Amino acid sequence: MKEVEKTEFIKWFSNLDKNSGNIAGGKGANLAEIYNLKIPVPAGFVVTAQAYNYFIEKAELKEKIKELLDRIDYEDTKQLDEISRQLRAFIVDSKFPEKLKEEILEAYEHLDADKFNISKGSALDILKTSSEPVFVAVRSSATTEDLAEASFAGQQDSFVNIKGEMNLLEHIKKCFASLFTSRAIYYRNKKGFEHEKSSLAVVIQKMINSDKSGVIFSKDPSYQKEGVLIEAVFGLGEGIVSGKITPDKYIISKELKILDKSVSNKKIAITRNSSGEKEVVRLSEEKANSQVLKEHEIIRLTELTINIEEHYQKPQDIEFAIEGEEIYIVQTRPITTLEKRIKSGDTKELKGEVILNGLAASPGIAFGKIRIVEEMEDLDRIKQGDILVTKMTNPDMVVSMQKSAGIVTDEGGLTSHASIVSREMGIPAVVGTGEATTLLKDGEIITVDGFTGKVYKGKVSEAVQKEIIQADVKTKTKIKLILDLPSYAMRAAKTNIKEIGLTRIEGIIAESGKHPNYFLKQNKINEYEEIIFKGISDIAKYFEEMWIRTSDIRSDEFENLEGSPKEKEANPMLGMHGIRYGIKNPEVLKAELKALKRVSKTGKKIGLLLPQVISVEEIKSVKEFIKEVEFTDVKIGIMIETPAAVQLIKELCEEGIDFISFGTNDLTQYILAVDRGNEAVQYIYDEMNQAILYQLEYVIRVCKRNKVETSICGQAGSKKEMVKFLVEKGIDSISVNADVASEIADYVKELEEELEHKE
C-alpha cells in the first residue's frame, strides 16, 4: 500500500502538535493540538514551511528574492509596492516542483476519504464515492512569531471555497506570495525581522457544508455565573457575526444542564450553493421559529467546550458547524479584549445582554441614556451623549443627531437616511430593529454596537469611534468621497482624498429648515441660491473637484420643512422628486445651477450630477437651463438609478454627458421592487443580485464605448464584493464614506495588482 505521508512536505493534523509551529505555523499547530484532544475538527493537512522552502529553492527564487529585497528603500512606498508586486509575481508564476505537486494533490485527493485517521493509512482503503473534488479552505499559517503577529494584522492571505486541483495549487502559491505583500515586508523591516528567515506553511482544510452553525462562549458574560452560552442559526454562521440573524441562545451549566433557552425567529439562513457562492434563503415561518440545535447536540457541544477550556485554561470563544449528524469545531481562541477585536476588524459580539437586533448601519460603539423621539418637539430633550431612539430619522433631525452618541431606529435599511447620515457623522447606529421605540424605555442606559447591529442593556463597553485615516490615493480606480454635510467636510478631508463623488445638497437645504417651495412662494429664490452657495463653498475649501447633485427632495423625507407641499404622496419613492421636480420648477433648478457656477468661479472643478433621470429629454432641458445661466465650465453627469436610465444609456451617452454615477441605493429598489426603507424586506434588498450586476456591467460597457466616465455613489460602493465586481469591470472611480475610504483604497490596490498580474 502506498503511504500518504512520505516526506516532510505534507503533514496531517494527527502527526503534528502544539510544538509544531516551525513546521506547520501557528494556525496549523493550534488545529493539530485540538485535533489531538479528540475534538472533531474538519479534516485537513498542512503544506509545511519546509515545502515552501523547497518550492523557493527549486524555482531558483532565493537569490532573486534577496536581490530585490536588498534594493528596497523603505521610505519610498511606490518602489516598495513595485518590488512587492514583482516578488509576488515571481512566486505565482513559478511552477510547483513535480514532487511537491504530486504530494499535495495526493493529499487533496484523500481529504474526502479522510475522516480522522488518514495519516495511519487506513482511509486509503475507503473507495472514493464522489467524483466531485471537495471544497477546501486554504489558509496561510505563519511560522515565526513575528509573522504570527503580522498575520494577526491580516497580512497573510487565506481563501475559502477552493475546489479543484489547479485552483488549489494556485491558491497555495497565492498564500506563499502573501509573505511578500508591501505591508508584510515593511512590517518585518520595522520590527527588525530577517526576511530570509521568514517562511510560511499553508493549512488545507475541508469546508463543512453547514446545516447549522454558531458560536460558543465558554463563559457566558451576560449570565455572570458559570455557564456556557451557545448561539446557533441554520446555515452558515456568518449571519450571527454580521448581526443579520437573531440566533437561538442556549445556556448550559458545567454539569450539562440546560439552564435557559430562547428560540428566536431566524427569518433567513445564509447557505452555500453548489458553486460555492453564498445565498440568502428565506425560511418558512415554521422552520424560522424552530429550535436549531437538538438537545443532544447542545450537550455534546458543551462537553467539547468544557474540554477545550480545560485544556487551554482560559475562557474560549469557539465556532462550530454541523453537517448532517456530524459536529465540527471550526475555530477556538481565547475570549479576546474588545480593543484587539476592533483592531483586527473582527466584529464579534460584546459581552452583555442583547435586548435588540437590527442592521449595523454605522460602525462604532456608544452608550448613553435613551431618548425616545416620537414627535419633533421631543428633539429638544436630546442632550449631548444621549442615544436617539426613533421610528425613523428624517433630515430635520440632523442637529439632534449630531448631539447624540448613538442612534437606534425601528425602521429603515442600510441605505436609509439614518444610516447614511450617521456614517457621515461617525455616530454608531443600529437601524431597522422593528421595535426600538416600543421596547426601550426613556431614560435607561443602553450600549449600541454599530459594528454588529446589536443593542445591549446597560453599559457593556467603552465608547469606540471609527477613526478616519488617510487613504492610499494612488489607485488607478479613483477613490472619491460621499459627503453631504458641510460641517463634516473637515473630518472627511482627513482621508487626504481631494475629490468628491457625491454631495446631496438636501443636507444643506434641510439645515435651513425650509423647502425650496417656500423660497419660490415668498419670491426669495436668491436666498435659496445663497444657502446652496454658502454650503457648497464650505465643502469646497477642502477639496479640488466636486460632483454636486441637484436637489432630490422626497416628500416623505422632507415633509417637516417650512413650505413643503401639503399633499401626501401615496408612493413618495416614485413621486415628485429628483430632476423631474427641477424641470417642473426651473427657478429652483436655476438657483442651484447659479450657486454652483459661483463656486466654480472660485477655481474649483464642478461636476453636475442629475438625480432620477429617466429620459434624454430631461438632459436636453437641463442643458437649456445651464446655457441660460451661462454655466460654461461644468461637466454634466447623471445618476444611473432608474431602470429607464440603464435601458437608455446608449442614447444618453450620445446626447452628450461627461460621466455617470451608479445610484445603487435606488437602482436596487427599482429593479428588485424592494423598498429600500422598509426593514421587513431588507433581507432581499441585495445590490449583488445578479439582475443588478447585469445592469451595471452593461452600462459600464456602453459608457466605455462612448468615452463616458463611470462611477458609483450608492452605498454598495463601500462593500468589498461590489468593489471587486466593479474594478474587474473597469469602473473609473468609486465613491465611499470617509470612514471606509482607506480600507476600500487598500482593497482596490490589491485588486488592481492582482488584475495587472493576470494580464
- Does position 504 interact with ligand PEP (CB under 6 A)? The reply is yes
Report the relative pairing of strands 326-334 and 258-262 from DSSP bridges.
unpaired
Question: Cα torsion at 140, 146, 152, 158 (round to 10°)?
Answer: -10
| Nearer to Mg ion among residue 107 and residue 649 (C-beta) | 649
User: 49-58 vs 98-111: helix axis angle to the nearest 10?
Assistant: 140
The helix or strand, by DSSP H or E, that contains position 408, with its residue range, turns out to be strand 406-409
Q: Provide DSSP, 687-736.
A: TT-HHHHHHHHHHHHHHHHTT-EEEE-SGGGGSHHHHHHHHHHT-SEEEE
- Using alpha carbons, list the distances in angstroms from residue 694 to 642, 662, 691, 699: 14, 13, 5, 9
Question: Is 529 near Mg ion (CB under 5 A)?
Answer: no
Residue 175 or 638: which CB sits closer to Mg ion?
638
Q: Indicate the SS3 state at residue 53.
A: helix
> Shortest gap between Cβ of 9 and Mg ion (angstroms)?
55
Site pattern 706..745 for ligand PEP (x: CB under 6 A): -------xx-------------------------------
663 binds ligand PEP (CB under 6 A): yes
CA gap 184, 112 in Å, rounded: 34
Report how many residues bind Mg ion under the rule CB under 5 A. 3
In the complex, least distance from residue 506 CB atom to ligand PEP, rounded to whole angstroms = 7
Q: What's the min distance (Å) between Cβ of 255 and ligand PEP?
A: 54
Around Cβ 104, how many Cβ atoms within 10 Å? 22
The listed partner (ligand PEP, Mg ion, none) that binds 475, CB under 5 to 8 Å by sort, is none
Cβ proximity to Mg ion: between 382 and 696 the closer is: 696
* Residue from 33, 411, 592, 641 in contact with Mg ion (CB under 5 A): 641
Which residue lies nearest Mg ion, judged by its C-beta?
A: 666
Nearer to Mg ion, 641 or 739 (CB): 641
Tell whether residue 666 is a contact of Mg ion (CB under 5 A): yes
Q: What character string, x for contact with ligand PEP (CB under 6 A) and - otherwise, covers 539-578? A: -------------x--------------------------
Other beta carbons within 10 angstroms of residue 322's beta carbon come to 22
Question: Quick one: which segment of 30-38, 291-299, 472-480, 640-648 binds Mg ion (CB under 5 A)?
Answer: 640-648
User: Of Mg ion, ligand PEP, none, which one sits near residue 664, judging by CB under 5 to 8 A according to partner kind?
Assistant: ligand PEP
Least distance CB 583 / Mg ion (angstroms): 17
Count the site residues for ligand PEP by CB under 6 A: 11
Using H for helix, E for strand and C for coil, what is the string for 483-548? CCCHHHHHHHHCCCCCEEEEEECHHHHHHHCECHHHHHHCCCHHHHHHHHHHHHHHHHCCCCEEEE
Q: Which stretch binds ligand PEP (CB under 6 A): 171-179, 215-223, 286-294, 663-671?
A: 663-671
- The answer to whether the beta carbons of residues 291 and 265 sit under 8 Å apart is no
| Selection from 217, 271, 218 nearest residue 245 by Cα | 271
Distances (CA, A) of 81 to 149, 201, 250: 21, 24, 49
The residue (of 415 and 550) whose beta carbon lies closer to ligand PEP is 415
Q: Which of 42, 413, 432, 663 forms a contact with Mg ion (CB under 5 A)?
A: 663
Dist. CA 502–CA 507, nearest whole Å: 12
48 sits near ligand PEP (criterion: CB under 6 A):
no
For the bound state, the minimum distance from the C-beta of residue 163 to ligand PEP, rounded and expressed in Å, comes to 35
Burial 397-412 (b: 16+ CB within 10 A, else e): bbebbbebbbbbbbbb
208 vs 671 by CB, closer to Mg ion: 671
Span 233-252, contacts to ligand PEP by CB under 6 A:
none
Query: Closest approach of Cβ 696 to ligand PEP, in Å?
Result: 12
Contact range with Mg ion by CB under 5 A, out of 139-147, 411-419, 524-532, 657-665: 657-665
For the four alpha carbons of 281, 284, 287 and 290, in that order, the dihedral sign comes to positive
Q: Closest Cα to residue 641, out of 729, 574, 562? A: 574
Q: Which stretch binds ligand PEP (CB under 6 A): 355-363, 432-440, 584-592, 661-669?
A: 661-669
Instruction: Report d(CA 556, CA 168) in Å as an integer.
Output: 52
Q: Any contact of residue 525 with ligand PEP (CB under 6 A)?
A: no
Active site residue 653: no
Cβ distance to ligand PEP smaller for residue 214 or 663:
663
Residue in the structure block whose three cell numbers are 447536540: 297
Closest CA to 538 of 584, 491, 578: 491
C-beta closer to ligand PEP: residue 237 or 663: 663
Minimum CB separation from Mg ion for residue 124, in Å?
60
270 binds, among Mg ion, ligand PEP, none (CB under 5 to 8 A by kind): none
Q: Is 5 in the site for ligand PEP (CB under 6 A)?
A: no
Span of 159-167, 397-405, 665-673, 728-736 interacting with Mg ion by CB under 5 A = 665-673
Q: What mask of x and - would describe binding to ligand PEP in positions 664 to 693, judged by CB under 6 A?
A: xxx---------------------------
In the complex, least distance from residue 672 CB atom to ligand PEP, rounded to whole angstroms = 13
Stretch that binds ligand PEP, among 116-124, 376-384, 538-546, 660-668 (CB under 6 A): 660-668
Residue that is written with C-alpha cell 472611480 in the block: 733
Which residues within the stretch 619-648 sit at the binding site for ligand PEP (CB under 6 A)?
A: 641
- Among candidate residues 110, 417, 515, 577, the one labeled active-site is 417
Distance between CA atoms of 219 and 101, rounded to whole angstroms?
Answer: 44
Complex with ligand PEP: residue 47 or 482, whichever CB lies closer? 482
413 binds ligand PEP (CB under 6 A): no
Shortest CB 543 distance to Mg ion, Å: 21
What's the burial of 67, exposed, middle or buried (CB within 10 Å: 0-12/13-18/19+)?
exposed
The span of 168-176, 404-412, 658-666, 724-732 binding ligand PEP (CB under 6 A) equals 658-666
Length of the chain as a residue count: 759
Reply yes or no on whether 713 is catalytic: yes
Indicate which of Mg ion, ligand PEP, none lies near residue 437 (CB less than 5 to 8 Å, by partner kind).
none
**Cβ-proximal residues to 167 (8 Å cutoff; 6+ apart), any chain:** none
Q: What angle do CA 126, 129, 134 make, to 5 degrees?
A: 100
Q: Which does 709 bind (CB under 5 to 8 A by kind): Mg ion, ligand PEP, none?
A: none
Query: Which of the stretches 442-450, 527-535, 659-667, 679-687 binds ligand PEP when contact is defined by CB under 6 A?
Result: 659-667
SS3 367: strand
Going by C-beta distance under 8 Å and a sequence separation of 6 or more, which residues neighbour residue 725?
688, 693, 696
Q: Strands (DSSP E) along 44-123, which ranges?
A: 44-47
Burial string for 675-706 (b: 16+ CB within 10 Å, else e) reads ebbebeebbebebeeeebeebbeebbebbbee
User: Which residues lie near Mg ion (CB under 5 A)?
Assistant: 641, 663, 666
User: Which residues lie near ligand PEP (CB under 6 A)?
Assistant: 415, 502, 504, 552, 641, 663-666, 713-714
Active site residues: 417, 713
